[in-house]
């Protein structure tokens, strides 16, 4: 990998891994206050009768779910598929997130069929107001998921760190994404690409919108914006 890519960014910018040195050079965790808010959000969503599970990521790659997730094995399975095919990833359950520290992020994953009947944008706004959360700390990552992040963590912040480490200008950079958590990158790079099927907010921040499949948008964007400008 190191001969193709120097740095890898994970957990929405919360982790930066140096493939040359084979070490994590940046890692950001949710603090105790964040974990208290996480437990409060779970209680709030439960009281509002949302069908959801909450999964918190740890540095060792394991995921810790809220206790009620045991009642929704299909949703846990869908969560793992949604996040990627990590069949070997371990997961556990907890009664209270604030009792264990060193979580990188928390994903609130909702039943997709229910979310078609829910104003997801309004739900996010309600959570921001109810728990006094910064807008960049709670991001939509799909039609049925929200990610709660440490303060100051974003893909854009990670990109800024990498531009300094590599001594390159983001005015010559290209970012590609299809979710709200990619907007922080779009705001920094000269070129940005997304899909026609992406949410309006995402398309509104991208310099280029491609009417293509997600599997080929990276190649299309590189061909148009990199190779044609080299």
- Mean pLDDT along residues 199-205: 90
- Mean pLDDT along residues 145-150: 94
Domains of the chain and CATH, by start: 32-148 (3.30.1240.10), 169-229 (3.40.50.1000)
Confidence class for position 1, pLDDT limits 50, 70, 90: low
Looking at 32-111, which runs of residues are DSSP E strands? 52-58, 63-66, 91-94, 103-110
Supply the pLDDT for residue 100.
Answer: 76
Task: In the chain, count H helices and then E strands.
Answer: 8, 12
Q: Which range (16-20, 106-110, 148-152, 207-211) has the least confidence? A: 207-211
- Does residue 117 carry a pLDDT above 70? no
- The percentage of residues in the chain with a pLDDT greater than 70, rounded to a whole number, is 88
Residue with tokens 């907007």: 183
152-181 pLDDT, tens digit per residue, is: 999 999 999 999 999 999 998 889 888 888
Q: Considering only CA atoms, which of 1, 8, 22 is closest in space to residue 161? A: 8
Rounded to two decimals, what is the model's pTM? Answer: 0.86
Higher pLDDT, 39 or 79: 39
DSSP at 152: T
7-53 pLDDT, tens digit per residue, is: 999 999 999 999 999 999 999 999 999 999 999 999 999 999 999 99
CA dist., res. 151 & res. 122, Å (int): 22
Supply the pLDDT for residue 223.
Answer: 73
* 173, two tokens: 């950079």
Helix H or strand E segment including 33? helix 32-47
- Does residue 216 carry a pLDDT above 90? no
Long-range contacts of 180-187 (CB under 8 A, 24+ apart): 180/139, 180/140, 180/141, 181/12, 181/139, 181/140, 181/141, 181/147, 181/154, 181/155, 182/155, 183/156, 184/13, 184/136, 184/154, 184/155, 184/156, 184/157, 184/159, 185/155, 185/156, 185/159, 187/156
């Amino acid at each position: 990998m190191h001969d193709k890519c120097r740095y890898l960014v994970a957990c929405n910018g919360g982790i930066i891994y140096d493939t040359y040195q084979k070490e994590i050079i940046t890692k950001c965790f949710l603090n105790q206050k964040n974990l208290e808010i996480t437990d409060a959000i779970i209680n709030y969503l439960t009281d509002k009768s949302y069908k959801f599970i909450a999964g918190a990521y740890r540095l060792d790659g394991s995921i810790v779910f809220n206790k009620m997730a045991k009642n929704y094995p299909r949703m846990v399975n869908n969560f793992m598929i949604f996040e990627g095919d990590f069949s070997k990833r371990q997961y556990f359950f907890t009664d209270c997130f604030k009792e264990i520290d060193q979580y990188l992020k928390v994903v609130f994953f909702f039943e997709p069929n229910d979310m078609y009947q829910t104003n997801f944008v309004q739900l996010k706004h309600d959570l921001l107001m109810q728990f006094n959360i910064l807008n960049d700390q709670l991001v939509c990552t799909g039609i049925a998921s929200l990610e709660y992040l440490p303060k100051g963590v974003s893909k854009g912040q990670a990109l800024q760190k990498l531009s300094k480490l590599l001594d390159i200008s983001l005015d010559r950079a290209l970012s590609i994404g299809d979710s709200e958590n990619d907007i922080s990158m779009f705001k920094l790079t000269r070129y940005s690409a997304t899909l026609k099927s992406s949410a309006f907010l995402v398309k509104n921040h991208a310099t280029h919108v491609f009417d293509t499949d997600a599997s080929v948008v990276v190649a299309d964007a590189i061909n148009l914006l990199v190779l044609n400008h080299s």
